[in-house]
């Protein structure tokens, strides 16, 4: 079975919500839709206070290059456009909408019928992805229309669909593949057409045999979709690692996947591409796992963007267990602790992970013993212990010479460190400082 | 035998002469003329290379002084007037009198008594924590309490208060080099005039949120009500983005704003203790009455 060559770790999988069928989360009373839910510049609001909006109506438009449209996830009245504290307490601009009913804009196909034929030309597909505000749902929320506009002089050879879901706890992609296999395959075919590549590869880790079976069977009905079972190893779902696992190619330092002829998308993105292109449904919903070892029940929900974490917790669990130590958005390896539960979810939110007190705290840090485990674990072939020392001593440019910017922040070094040194944190700090230095020089 | 010696002397002598001539011309061509003033000034500067002036070190500042020929925009903040006057002497310009400055922490200790909503156990570095989240009470503007400023101080003038979580500046040791100002990712620390007799008044908050939101995160937050600005007879206070700022150049330390502030966000330091309370029992100037309220007072200024 294939896997990536360098580094990687095996965190405890804890996929305890695998069997929870995707449920529909009821609409909240009010949503706060952030204008910045993607990588890049925030979108510009095009509605004003008091406007009536329908579900799927454009409420903030992408005006910069690196930006994505934002649509209303609910129908109702715009209450205000104001600053809003997101889940991490950081201030962002948000459009607050009071929910009234659930009326969709015209043209959206809400029937469960599956529509297979797509007659659009590649350019039209990309334009529609832009109009529908599709972003990558694998974590980075990269605007899809930019990814699928291949720059001049470069050629895509492979379309790779990331269905590895290597993060512990997360099961939203797993459920999407089981429940919407055909839609995902249609979405993949559309993306394949947009790129004009002969084959698309869906990489699934072997800890999901039911998904591999289901997807292989469904893919038989489609041309050029190959399901590739992968050996379980974290971070298989990282773009560069997945390319290495499936094609054997290595993305050089500072280059993008397209430089080695690859385009990688998430399986959740393929599903939203299907809904956008075939059903005219903009990206206003995402699938989110609510899970935790000590929780009485595990869930997978389809939720509207802009609902608060508290709303989700209230519906799914009533209240948080008393022994809760941390609520994490994302998986345990790369996710971020939520410090403001009143903050709204965004397009890229993939989970509400409730960690028990006993597991939430970091173990005390001790000194580096030069064991080199972090180097062995690093999937990018970097030297985390060295970055740690350089960043601490302010030798940021030297760290840059050792390719600190290649770090994908997967957390393998911190995970494997016997001294519990916060290596990933230090590297992130170093990257931030180096970027600031480079910006100042320019 | 003699001819061998003679040949050697002559040959080596000739080579020596040729090299001497070459070296002479090379030395003329690549001559570096350094102003002796640079050395003189470098000698006067403290030599701590703290970087407070914004240059790479003391010698770099000395070079900048000489290159510019005057002291406009250049100053050794760590050296104070004594050093800068001597530099001016060497340069032959009039010394610019400048107010001595001190680093001031513009964030109320204890978050105004608000309960902490979350705790942080990641990398103990303010810049990193700032990039991740807001802070333990949800205030996105205030001190994160991880001590990056204390670590940046080369003069051992800042220490973290372990109980209140904010940095405390040692006025005696602070040379106002500005290293802490640069280290703070939130801009909490400001260099302000030390003031007459070290007495100064400043707004101990930089929270730009609207009043209600600011109060939720800190009981002593400035809510931008503007009462202080109205009370100020010298027009030293401006309220912008929901937060008041006292211009230290205009402030005469009359402290009218301190009593006016409804949230206690304005702080006065180094004022004599009894001056604070007599304002309340003003109509009672009886000397006998004064000692009585004085008893509890020493505690109040100590907390300040």
The per-residue pLDDT for range B36-93, each reduced to its tens digit, is: 889 889 998 988 888 778 788 899 999 998 888 888 878 888 887 888 888 888 888 8
Q: Are residues B115 and B232 in the same domain?
A: yes
The second-level CATH assignment, the architecture, of A122-279 is 3-Layer(aba) Sandwich (3.40)
pLDDT at A206 over 70: yes
A426 has a chain B CB within 8 A of its CB: yes
**What is the model's pTM?**
0.83
Domain that holds residue B86: 36-91
Last residue of a domain, one of B91, B125, B160: B91
Q: Are residues B86 and B216 in the same domain?
A: no
A111-140: burial string, b at 16+ Cβ within 10 Å, e else: eeeeeeebeeebeebbebbbbbbbbbbbbe
Residue of chain B whose alpha carbon sits nearest to that of A360: B121
**Interface touch A432/B133, C-beta < 8 Å:** no
Which of B127, B128, B140 is closest, CB to CB, to A91?
A: B140
So where are chain A's domains?
122-279, 373-441
Does the residue B190 lie in any domain?
Answer: yes
Whole-angstrom Cα distance, residue A40 to residue A277?
Answer: 23
How many Cβ pairs closer than 8 A exist between chain A and B? 46
- Quickly count: other Cβ atoms within 10 Å of residue B119's Cβ: 11
CATH of the domain at B86: 1.10.15
CATH of the domain at B249: 3.30.70.20
As a whole number, mean pLDDT of residues B262-268 equals 90
Does the residue B285 lie in any domain?
Answer: no
**Interface touch B133/A88, C-beta < 8 Å:** yes
Does the residue B59 lie in any domain?
Answer: yes
Residue A415: pLDDT band with limits 50, 70, 90 = very high
Number of structural domains, chain B? 2
Q: Are residues B106 and B243 in the same domain?
A: yes
Which of B118, B121, B123 is closest, CB to CB, to A339?
A: B118
pLDDT at B294 over 50: no
Which of A89, A432, A433 is closest, CB to CB, to B134?
A: A89
Q: Are residues B139 and B51 in the same domain?
A: no
Whole-angstrom Cα distance, residue B261 to residue B52?
Answer: 34
Whole-angstrom Cα distance, residue A361 to residue A379?
Answer: 26
Q: Are residues B141 and B162 in the same domain?
A: yes
For residue A361, the chain B residues in CB contact (below 8 A) are: 121
| Close Cβ partners of B59 (under 8 Å, ≥ 6 residues apart) | B38, B42
**Interface touch B123/A90, C-beta < 8 Å:** no
Closest CA to A256 of A163, A150, A410, A333: A150
Residues B109-167: tens digit of each pLDDT: 888 777 788 888 888 899 999 988 888 888 889 899 899 999 988 888 999 988 888 99
Whole-angstrom Cα distance, residue B222 to residue B203?
Answer: 8
As a whole number, mean pLDDT of residues A203-207 equals 94
């Amino acid at each position: 079975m294939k896997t990536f060559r360098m580094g990687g770790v095996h965190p405890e999988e804890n996929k305890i919500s695998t069997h929870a069928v995707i449920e529909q989360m009821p609409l909240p009373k009010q949503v706060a839709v952030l204008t910045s839910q993607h990588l890049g510049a925030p979108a510009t609001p095009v509605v004003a206070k008091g406007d009536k909006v329908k579900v799927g109506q454009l409420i903030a438009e992408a005006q910069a290059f690196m930006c994505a449209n934002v649509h209303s996830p609910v129908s109702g009245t715009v209450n205000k456009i104001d600053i809003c504290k997101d889940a991490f307490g950081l201030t962002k601009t948000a459009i607050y909408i009071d929910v009234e009913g659930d009326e969709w804009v015209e043209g959206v196909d809400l029937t469960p019928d599956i529509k297979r034929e797509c007659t659009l030309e590649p350019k039209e597909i990309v334009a529609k992805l832009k109009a529908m505000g599709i972003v990558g749902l694998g974590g980075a929320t990269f605007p899809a229309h930019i990814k699928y506009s291949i720059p001049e002089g470069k050629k895509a050879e492979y379309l790779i669909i990331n269905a590895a879901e290597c993060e512990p706890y997360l099961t939203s992609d797993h459920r999407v593949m089981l429940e919407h296999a055909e839609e995902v395959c249609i979405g993949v075919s559309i993306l394949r057409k947009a790129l004009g590549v002969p084959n698309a590869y869906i990489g699934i880790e072997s800890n999901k045999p039911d998904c591999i079976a289901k997807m292989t069977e469904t893919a038989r009905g489609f041309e050029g979709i190959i399901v590739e079972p992968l050996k379980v190893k974290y971070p298989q779902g990282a773009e560069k690692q997945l390319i290495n696992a499936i094609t054997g190619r290595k993305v050089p330092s500072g280059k993008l996947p397209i430089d080695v002829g690859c385009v990688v998308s998430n399986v959740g993105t393929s599903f939203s591409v299907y809904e956008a292109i075939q059903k005219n449904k903009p990206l206003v919903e995402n699938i989110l796992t609510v899970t935790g070892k000590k929780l009485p029940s595990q869930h997978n929900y389809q939720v509207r963007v802009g609902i608060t974490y508290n709303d989700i917790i209230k519906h799914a669990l009533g209240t948080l267990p008393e022994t809760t130590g941390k609520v994490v958005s994302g998986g345990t390896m790369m996710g971020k602790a939520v410090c403001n539960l009143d903050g709204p979810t965004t397009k890229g939110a993939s989970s509400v992970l409730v960690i028990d007190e006993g597991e939430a705290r970091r173990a005390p840090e001790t000194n580096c013993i030069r064991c080199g485990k972090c180097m062995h674990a690093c999937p990018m072939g970097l030297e985390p212990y060295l970055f740690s020392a350089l960043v601490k001593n302010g030798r940021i440019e030297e760290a840059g010479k050792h390719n600190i910017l290649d770090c994908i922040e997967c957390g393998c070094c911190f995970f494997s460190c016997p001294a519990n040194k916060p290596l990933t944190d230090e590297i992130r700090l170093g990257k931030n400082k180096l970027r600031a230095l480079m910006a100042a020089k320019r | 035998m003699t001819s061998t010696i003679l040949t050697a002397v002559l040959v080596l002598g000739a080579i020596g002469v040729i090299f001497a001539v070459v070296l002479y011309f090379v030395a003329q061509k690549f001559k570096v003329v350094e102003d002796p003033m640079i050395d003189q000034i470098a000698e006067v500067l403290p030599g701590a290379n703290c970087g407070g002036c914004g240059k790479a070190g003391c010698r770099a500042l000395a070079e900048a002084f000489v290159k510019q020929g005057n002291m406009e925009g250049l100053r050794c903040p760590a050296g104070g007037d004594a050093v800068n006057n001597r530099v001016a002497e060497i340069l032959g310009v009039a010394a610019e009198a400048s107010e001595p400055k001190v680093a001031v922490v513009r964030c109320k200790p204890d978050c105004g008594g608000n309960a902490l909503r979350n705790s942080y156990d990641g990398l103990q570095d303010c810049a990193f924590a700032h990039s991740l989240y807001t802070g333990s009470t949800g205030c996105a503007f205030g001190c994160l309490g991880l001590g990056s400023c204390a670590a940046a101080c080369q003069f051992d003038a800042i220490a973290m208060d372990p109980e209140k979580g904010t940095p405390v500046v040692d006025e005696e040791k602070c040379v106002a080099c500005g290293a802490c100002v640069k280290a703070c990712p939130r801009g909490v620390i400001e260099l302000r005039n030390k003031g007459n007799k070290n007495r100064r008044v400043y707004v101990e908050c930089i929270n730009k949120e609207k009043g209600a939101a600011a109060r939720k995160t800190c009981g002593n937050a400035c809510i931008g009500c503007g009462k202080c600005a109205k009370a100020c007879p010298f027009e030293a206070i401006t309220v912008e983005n929901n937060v008041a700022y006292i211009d230290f150049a205009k402030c005469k330390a009359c402290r009218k704003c301190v009593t006016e502030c409804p949230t206690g966000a304005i702080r006065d330091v180094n004022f004599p203790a009894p001056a604070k309370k007599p304002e309340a029992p003003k109509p009672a100037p009886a000397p006998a009455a004064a000692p009585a309220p004085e008893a509890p007072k020493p505690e109040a200024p100590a907390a300040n």
